[in-house]
Structure 1
């Protein structure tokens, strides 16, 4: 009796390399041995691995966001806006990816979280250095937020250095000034951006005549896209925390949901939102 089964497919027959002894493999290039062994649950709870991986992958996406924001700022400072458009668009997509991560974490119930929450001790996302750096790069510079990093000179130092240089939005405002708008530089760089009447008036003029100021108009919209997704990330964070722990204090000592709701009122680029009332 004969079999009609097809022979097993062998990629080597078409030239695929199957032996990697002494050669760079996929895992070698990506450093997967280090990445996939970086999860160390401290309890026997099934869902602790979900919690760890969700936060670790978020930190990887934030690393990429910082890479893109730094490059975008350099291009904007040099007056080379078009490459910055692509980078800022990518940051918005990264924030969208971070938003999707909350959907996975929300599959964890309060009962499941309580099984391993004691293992967190006082660790909290509130202490994320990269999240703080994203805020500082964008221009939301609250120096009180250096506190959780004060014990690490390698973390607090870069944040202080960042607070002493023009933010992403400062460089954007400098482009407005270069284009002839009356937008003076800020007196202090180490404070959050506040609504500025001259900047608001300048942006309103840009929006009233996009064809005349197309690159500035496009730049403004890229920043609004970024902040739009950033706000959604913050909102999803609040919703997730309320769903999982209610109104308990955060593991890092914050007021939890109340603190996160207060952060929803923080605006990165106030002039770009306020101008809409003027059109």
Structure 2
């Protein structure tokens, strides 16, 4: 075979591939993902180099929160319908999303205090504290607090969404209702209550979970549900811890731009327990 033949074959492959690479008549990658809009959504207000990092950090976090809400809504529906196998997949995915959000703080932590100080005046009163998606996630996970509706009052559309999540049964509420449907003794006070009120731990609820954990072979799917919930809260705790340490590293003990107490407020949030009986039962097993 002459040297000209491989070259000719190479040119033929290039022509064939080129014909397949014309996306002018079909949907392209950028079309499907609306990349023009997505990549054009960063509009720095300051002359500082680091603002692009700050914007993209928070925009990507909001995209992950959107997916998390999508999975949580579906998981809640599955638990209500006693369809636990698909719920397990969704809850596991939520935990993995939370891991992504934990590692996102590593990138933001590359911003030094002096770099953030140069950026901060341009943020005005905007703050992650005002994220309506995050608030819906907290409410869906059971951290109910009526005061947390106020940061969203300036957007009636978002307020309505957040308030609906506040008034609805949480993921843990639905898990307890499922235990009751399976014949486990959940007190009526925890099956028919004002869902907008914070959850209060109860000794009888712990006993119901202890029944599951002491005989997992008899209640395997409920046992797995309990562990999926613990995985989720474990990941959520790590996210909160990484949040407070990053904030302290970058701004110290200054107040947050949204009016919160900053680090002291975030440290208080570290004490929040979403699924209390699933943690206390470990001491009593």
Same fold (TM over 0.5): yes
Rg (Cα) greater in structure? 2
Distance 1:264 1:9 in 2: 63
Equivalent residue number for residue 18 of structure 1: 21
Determine whether 1:73 maps to 2:76: yes
Q: Does 1:129 align with 2:132?
A: yes
After superposition, the CA RMSD in angstroms is 1.9
**Which residue pairs with 1:103 in the alignment?**
106
More helix as a share of residues = 2
- For residues 1-279 of structure 1, what are the structure 2 equivalents within 5 Å? 13-14=16-17, 17-183=20-186, 184=188, 185-279=191-285
State the alpha-carbon separation in 2 of the partners of residues 11 and 262 from structure 1: 62
Residues 35-71 of structure 1 deviation map (CA, whole Å, 9 limit, x = unaligned): 0000011001111000100000000000000000000
| Contact preservation (8 Å) 2:136, 2:166 | no
The offset of 1:167, in angstroms, is 1.4
Contact 1:12 1:18 in 2 (8 A): no
Deviations 1:100-120 (A, max 9, x none): 100111111101111111110
Alpha-carbon contact 1:193-1:270 (below 8 Å) kept: no
User: Cα distance 1:12–1:218, how it changes in 2: closer, same or farther (>3 A)?
Assistant: farther
TM-score (norm 2): 0.93
Contact 1:182 1:198 in 2 (8 A): yes
Q: Distance in 2 between matches of 1:192 and 1:216?
A: 23
- Report the number of matched residues: 277
CA offset at residue 182 of structure 1? 1.2
For structure 2, list consecutive stretches of 5 or more residues without a partner in the other structure: none
Gaps of 5+ in 1: none
TM-score normalized by the length of structure 1? 0.95
The runs of 4+ residues in structure 1 deviating greater than 4 Å are 6-12
